[in-house]
């Protein structure tokens, strides 16, 4: 081959070698590097985000800082916004109309709070209360806080003041709360609000209502449990529970002698005894509706449970009213014993309306004329649909539609047509500056303008039930058990209460 041919072949070979060199560089170096990058970058990215609160994140941020990159933001936490695991989970939220009802009811408590003692007046502007009314006020305050009507700060302040009073107030015979206290001074008084250093007696029914809502307080707000425990364990039940029943104490104001009486009739007796049983007391007779004192009668074609201990024989009221039954459902919950009884209490009042055209929702209430407190009843001492005084006198001009009974029944039976009738009847029975009135007179006399802690407290607790259901059932599900009281433990150790 001549020289020209050799030169041409050399040029061709060089041209071939150049692409081969690039190919080898790409194949052995650049391609592996590219693949490694594609694999590594996502791994690093996800590792950074998955571990940004861990020690690895600290190492990574050090590397990032070292190459002067901006550090990613660290997740913040706020100590004071951290919440306890909530036991109360709403089954339904309240509508704006419900909230209007609640705001009107809370107005009463805004007007009647005694900051020094943490107590609320039982009746408007009258500085006196019972343990029953204190229980109603406690129920109202728990509900108001839950509904956002008061702040956590205000709620805590009110609970702290109340518990301080329960821990420090004088007790009847150093045993248990007196029946009545002055809300300004915390002194034991008579029902006329006159100071009596020795007190007038003890109502276990009233105490049970307060205990019911103290149980709810420590369930919903466990931070108060220890202090409530201290308050409740001041109370000695040795004389207050005997032979499976509740016993009240009464001092003779002339002789000073203290006498004891079995307390409670069918309805209120079971409501209260169920509460006390959960706090450790043995009440097998009082806690059941199916005891020897139950007697069924027929009213408007329905079987109504009554108490066979008549006023003439036992000198005590055996009235059948709405309140004890709706509170049993709201606080203790429905059960196999009470469901049919509560249903019939509702239905018998509906049937009276259907037959006579009289909207009916009866209960005991304060009224705005003498004698200022009346039992409006389904049945009492052999009579049906009568209003009676505490002494048993029939008061024909005092029959009312009870606002708290109407609203509570409407909450329990939301899908029944009569509930709409009840709400329509009482929807304007309030003063926006004072709260809900106790009721409306049947005879056309107008509103029963008395405003009380009990009426407004029952209304607020009814709305709490609408939102959550039975308070006891909720706490039982959450395994937040009531305080077992020391005197209950002592009674069981000594074999008492049998």
Q: What's the predicted TM-score (pTM) here? A: 0.84
For residues 362 and 340, what is the distance between their CA atoms, to the nearest angstrom? Answer: 18
Angle value at C-alpha 243, between 263 and 136, nearest 5 degrees: 35
Name 427's bridge partners: none
CA nearest neighbour of 268 among 338, 335, 200: 338
Q: Does residue 426 have a cis bond before it (omega within 30 degrees)?
A: no
Angle value at C-alpha 460, between 456 and 462, nearest 5 degrees: 115
**What is the reported pLDDT for 296?**
97
Q: What is the mean pLDDT of residues 188-196?
A: 97
**What is the reported pLDDT for 485?**
86
For 251-295, the pLDDT digits (tens) are: 998 899 999 999 999 999 999 999 999 999 999 999 999 999 999
DSSP SS3 for 99: helix
Q: How confident is the model at residue 312 (pLDDT cuts 50, 70, 90)?
A: confident
Q: How confident is the model at residue 239 (pLDDT cuts 50, 70, 90)?
A: very high
- Cβ atoms of residues 152 and 224 within 8 Å: no
pLDDT at 59 over 80: no
Which string of DSSP letters, residue by residue, matches 409-447? HHHH-TTSHHHHHHHHHHTT-EETTTEE-SEEETTS--E
- Cβ atoms of residues 285 and 291 within 8 Å: yes
- Cβ atoms of residues 209 and 135 within 8 Å: yes
Q: Which residues contact 258 (CB under 8 A, 6 or more apart)?
A: 173, 201, 249, 250, 251, 252
Length of the chain: 498
pLDDT at 62 over 50: no
- Cβ atoms of residues 399 and 376 within 8 Å: yes
For residues 493 and 486, what is the distance between their CA atoms, to the nearest angstrom? Answer: 11
For residues 335 and 342, what is the distance between their CA atoms, to the nearest angstrom? Answer: 10
Token pair for residue 115?
Answer: 């900051």
Q: Which CATH superfamily is domain 96-494 in?
A: Glycoside hydrolase 144 (GH144) (1.50.10.140)
Element (H, E) at 383: strand 383-384
For residues 422 and 419, what is the distance between their CA atoms, to the nearest angstrom? Answer: 5
Higher-scoring residue by pLDDT: 34, 113:
113
pLDDT at 38 over 70: no
CA nearest neighbour of 132 among 146, 114, 119, 116: 119
**What is the reported pLDDT for 51?**
44
For residues 411 and 342, what is the distance between their CA atoms, to the nearest angstrom? Answer: 13
For 409-458, the pLDDT digits (tens) are: 999 999 999 999 999 999 999 999 999 999 999 999 999 999 999 999 99
pLDDT at 54 over 70: no
User: Of 74-88, 91-105, 166-180, 395-409, which gets the smallest average pLDDT?
Assistant: 74-88
Token pair for residue 18?
Answer: 């150049």
Angle value at C-alpha 495, between 494 and 498, nearest 5 degrees: 145
CA nearest neighbour of 382 among 323, 293, 321, 308: 308
For residues 307 and 256, what is the distance between their CA atoms, to the nearest angstrom? Answer: 31
pLDDT at 60 over 90: no
Angle value at C-alpha 114, between 108 and 119, nearest 5 degrees: 85
- Cβ atoms of residues 365 and 376 within 8 Å: yes
Sign (positive/negative) of CA torsion 132, 136, 138, 139? Answer: positive
Exposed, middle or buried, 34 (CB in 10 Å: 0-12/13-18/19+)? Answer: exposed
For residues 140 and 120, what is the distance between their CA atoms, to the nearest angstrom? Answer: 11
3-state helix/strand/coil string of 454-492? HHHHHHHHHHHHHHHCCHHHHHHHCCCCCCCCHHHHHHH
Which string of DSSP letters, residue by residue, matches 226-253? HHHHHHHTT---TTTEETTEEEEEEE-T
Tokens 């002067």, located at residue: 68
Token pair for residue 370?
Answer: 């003498």
């Amino acid at each position: 081959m001549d020289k020209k041919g050799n030169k041409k072949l050399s040029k061709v070979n060089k041209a071939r070698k150049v692409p081969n060199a690039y190919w080898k560089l790409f194949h052995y170096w650049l391609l592996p590097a590219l693949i490694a990058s594609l694999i590594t970058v996502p791994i690093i990215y996800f590792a950074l985000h998955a571990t940004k609160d861990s020690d690895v994140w600290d190492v990574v941020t050090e590397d990032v800082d070292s190459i002067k990159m901006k550090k990613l933001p660290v997740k913040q936490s706020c100590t004071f916004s951290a919440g306890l695991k909530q036991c109360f989970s709403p089954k339904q939220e309240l509508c704006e109309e419900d909230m209007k009802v609640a705001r009107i009811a809370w107005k009463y408590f805004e007007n009647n709070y005694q900051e020094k003692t943490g107590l609320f007046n039982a009746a408007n502007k009258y500085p006196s209360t019972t343990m029953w009314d204190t229980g109603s006020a406690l129920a109202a305050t728990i509900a108001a806080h839950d509904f956002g009507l008061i702040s956590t700060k205000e709620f805590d302040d009110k609970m702290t003041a109340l518990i301080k009073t329960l821990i420090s107030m004088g007790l009847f015979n150093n045993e248990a709360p007196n029946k009545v206290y002055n809300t300004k001074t915390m002194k034991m008084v008579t029902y006329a609000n006159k100071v009596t250093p020795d007190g007038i007696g003890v109502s276990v029914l009233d105490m049970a209502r307060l205990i019911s809502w103290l149980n709810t307080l420590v369930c919903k707000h466990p931070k108060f449990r220890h202090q409530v425990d201290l308050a409740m364990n001041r109370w000695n039940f040795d004389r207050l529970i005997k032979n499976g029943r509740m016993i009240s104490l009464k001092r003779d104001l002339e002789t000073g002698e203290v006498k004891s009486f079995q307390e409670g009739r069918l309805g209120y007796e079971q409501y209260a005894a169920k509460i006390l049983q959960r706090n450790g007391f043995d009440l097998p007779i009082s806690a059941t509706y199916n005891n020897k004192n139950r007697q069924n009668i027929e009213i408007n074609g329905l079987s109504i449970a009554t108490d066979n201990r008549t006023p003439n024989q036992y000198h005590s009221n055996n009235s059948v009213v709405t309140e004890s039954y709706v509170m049993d459902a709201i606080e203790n919950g429905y059960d196999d014993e009470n469901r049919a009884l509560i249903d019939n209490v509702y239905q018998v009042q509906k049937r009276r309306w259907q037959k006579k055209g009289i909207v009916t929702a009866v209960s005991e209430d304060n009224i705005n004329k003498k004698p200022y407190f009346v039992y409006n009843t389904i049945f009492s001492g052999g009579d049906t649909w009568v209003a009676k005084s505490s002494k048993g006198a029939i008061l024909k001009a005092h029959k009312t539609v009870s606002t708290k009974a109407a609203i509570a029944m409407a909450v329990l039976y939301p899908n029944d047509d009569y509930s709409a009738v009840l709400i329509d009847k009482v929807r304007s029975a309030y003063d926006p500056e004072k709260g809900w009135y106790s009721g409306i007179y049947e005879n056309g006399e107008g509103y029963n303008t008395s405003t009380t802690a009990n009426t407004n407290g029952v209304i607020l607790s009814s709305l709490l039930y609408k939102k959550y259901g039975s308070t006891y059932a909720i706490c039982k599900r959450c395994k937040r058990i009531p305080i077992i009281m020391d005197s209950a433990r002592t009674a069981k150790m000594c074999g008492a209460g049998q």
